Homo-oligomer: A and B are copies of this chain.
């Protein structure tokens, strides 16, 4: 095939700084469609426009490439969460809906579902990675939800008991939906928005004042 996609360019460029990010990006792109195990490092290399050996200058193994990719995404997630002023502008209802939509978009469109997939199926192989993902992404997400609930109570929109409500129950449907959507075509995708809205209604209906 034609590896002359980028026409006028030296074959060998030394771009120490840019390589890791490019390799990670190529890897995630491929993992999204073929999965982690089924994607060969050689394909990743091709996708990033380097030779296989180059990957090993920056990552000591396929797994450590995966770790680095998770790390990169986690950082992005944290940044996003920090700018979450939008979550705390309007009503509790709006905040929940925005949050769910954020989760769904990051998972499905952003491709983060691939990390979950790998952790789910091969997590026992890298327990420390599972640990970090749990601590950094999941717990952080739960924390955001807890803040939304607390603020709702303060604003008088939620009953006081809502402060004790377990965030895992709030988040589970949004995550499950995203996962289902990438596995079972019929179950998750078609009406995600609709369903998330219904989930918000459920929560407000039970935890809301009146």
| A164 nearest in chain B by CB position | B198
Q: Bound state CA distance, A177 and B183, in angstroms?
A: 18
Q: Within the complex, which residue of B122, B173, B198, B205 is in contact with A173, where a contact is CB–CB below 8 Å?
A: B173
Asked if A122 meets B37 with Cβ closer than 8 Å, knowing A134-B186, A175-B176, A205-B207, the reply is yes
A169 touches B195 (CB 8 A): yes
Q: Bound state CA distance, A187 and B142, in angstroms?
A: 10
Shortest C-beta distance, A55 to chain B (Å), equals 22
| A174 nearest in chain B by CB position | B172
A122 touches B35 (CB 8 A): yes
Which stretch from A1-9, A70-78, A80-88, A113-121 is at the chain B interface? A113-121
Flag whether A21 is at the interface (Cβ < 8 A). no
Q: Is the interface of A mostly helix, strand, loop or mixed?
A: helix
Q: Within the complex, which residue of B120, B124, B168, B187 is in contact with A138, where a contact is CB–CB below 8 Å?
A: B187
Given the complex, which residues of B lie within 8 Å of A199, measured CB to CB?
169
B138 touches A184 (CB 8 A): yes
Given the complex, which residues of B lie within 8 Å of A205, measured CB to CB?
205-207
Given the complex, which residues of B lie within 8 Å of A134, measured CB to CB?
184, 186-187
Flag whether A47 is at the interface (Cβ < 8 A). no
Given the complex, which residues of B lie within 8 Å of A176, measured CB to CB?
168, 172-173, 175-176
Flag whether A111 is at the interface (Cβ < 8 A). no
Q: Bound state CA distance, A206 and B198, in angstroms?
A: 11
Flag whether A165 is at the interface (Cβ < 8 A). yes
Interface residues of A in 123-171 (CB under 8 A from B): 123-125, 130, 133-134, 138, 165-166, 168-169
List the interface of chain A (C-beta within 8 A of B): 34-38, 117-125, 130, 133-134, 138, 165-166, 168-169, 172-173, 175-177, 179-180, 183-184, 186-187, 195, 198-199, 201-207
